[in-house]
Amino acid sequence: MNGISIYDPSAWMVASAEAIAAVVIVTGILQTAFNFVLLLYAAAALGSRPPVPRSATLWRRYSEQAPAISVLAPAFNEELTIVESTRSLLALQYPDFEVIVINDGSNDGTLARLIAEFNLEQVDRYVDRSVDHAEIRGFYASPRLPRLLVVDKINGGKADALNAGINCSRTELFCAIDADSLLEPDALLRVVRPFVDNPHLTIAAGGTIRIANGCKVDSGRITDIKLPRNFLALVQIVEYLRAFLMARVGLGKMQALTVISGAFGLFRRRHVVAVGGYSHGTVGEDMELVLKLHRLMREQKRDYRIEFIAEPVCWTECPDSLSVLGRQRARWQRGALECFVKHKDMLFNPRYGRIGMIGFGQILLVDVLGPLLEVMGYVLVPLLWALGLLAFPWLLAFLAVTFTLGIFLSMATLVLEELQLRRFPKARELAVLAGIAVVENFGYRQISNLWRMQGWWQFIRRQQGWGTMTRKGFSAS
């Protein structure tokens, strides 16, 4: 090595410190560079398929061609939100759909509230066994609400409940949502667009998830979009904008989308049945389903498209306490690692095209290596600088990559939101979110990475389970 004496321990320590700092900084630069590429692709996608502002226009254009859809809503202990969520689903503006609420062995009043609120009675229903799930205890319906079917089954987890819903559905397409979510009335009309435009190619499509905390809800609909006062909920609004408006729109444009959120996704039923439905024994069942669909189509050498549409919005309640949010983020991290390991043979494998090269490359960079190296940087780079082993420019470079470019990406996503979707009409709300995009880098970002490291630890220990998720319910107007 030039300039380093093999007999000089201090020279070795400095070289090692610089090597560690270089790995952390280069990884940060690669992540940021990839995010810039995603941002450009997202802008191109929104430019080439601009949002349709009026629901009436969508109805005239798509209602006669739109295929029937089964909306599947798995519910476990959702008594606080289940009635509002079901009302929101029954009020959807779509020509032909059914709503199947799957009570996944709740031990609270979820089933009782559904029966009482909608005057349901026990009925018979034929179910095939295309995919595996736990035993169904009964079906509930009412002649007054022919679109609604409630399935009561033994608890088996979210994936198991969705599989039961797939077996009960009778339509070509099914839409998987979370029962604690509210779909906008025209969400199905918007998300079905790629299935109508490219019926022989499109096998799945995802829509945008937004935070409902702070918003007013009436009869299952968001009537007044407002920002929450809770800091954690505000930060998650910025995170969701980055994740959906930048990452997923960009990856969808590249045809390298690796995940469609379990809170809102539309799928062609026969392809999901062909891959065995949702997998049991993982907390990343939504990501794994998309990966299995990619694998099926690539291995059969069939043309296909998995799309992401920014306009259709599903509103959900996000955690507003550190303990619940930490459990959620650790679970997400564990789910991403489980999927990565299960399908690792697709990584950089030319057989799987863009999904192997770009999609899995992004998982490796962001989900697998990202939290490890960022936490390493937070600990080691300042420590090595304080010990005099690292020059000040290295510390400055680390801080620039970590904070400055991260803030720029968040701001650029807000600009994209304002130019294309304009869900926050007041300048004050945009100013608040811009401030949050700066503040989140100092404290919240570091805590978030510690939660992801917790997910890493749970993954290594092969820990299973979802953990308790406390709900407060939507705010009534």
Global confidence as pTM: 0.90
**CA distance readout (Å), 314 to 58, 68, 212, 214, 258:** 17, 19, 9, 15, 19
Q: What angle do CA 433, 437, 439 make, to 5 degrees?
A: 110
The amino acid sitting at 390 is L
Domains of the chain and CATH, by start: 20-46+369-461 (no CATH), 52-352 (3.90.550.10)
Q: Given the structure tokens 């389903």, which residue do they identify?
A: 289
When comparing pLDDT for 17 and 267, which is higher?
267
Here the tokens at position 431 are: 């100013």
Question: How many CA atoms lie less than 13 Å away from 431 in the CB half-sphere?
Answer: 3
The pLDDT of residue 299 is: 96
Instruction: Measure the CA dihedral 476/440/32/262, to 10°.
Output: -30
What would the two tokens of residue 247 be?
Answer: 């990452």
Contact 141, 123 (CB under 8 A): yes
Out of 154-163, 205-214, 258-267, 395-404, which region has the weakest mean confidence (pLDDT)?
395-404
For a pLDDT cut of 70, what percent of the chain falls above it?
95
- For 7-45, the pLDDT digits (tens) are 677 777 777 777 877 888 888 888 888 888 998 999 888
Q: For 435-474, write each residue's pLDDT tens digit.
A: 999 999 889 999 999 999 999 999 999 887 666 666 666 6
> Which has the higher per-residue pLDDT, 317 or 287?
287
Tokens of residue 192, six digits: 């079905």
* Model pLDDT for residues 138-197, shown as the tens digit of each residue: 999 999 999 999 999 999 999 999 999 999 999 999 999 987 788 999 999 999 999 999
Percent of the chain predicted with pLDDT > 90: 56
pLDDT at 64: 87
With beta carbons less than 8 A apart as the criterion, state whether 210 and 316 touch: yes
Q: What is the pLDDT of residue 1?
A: 47
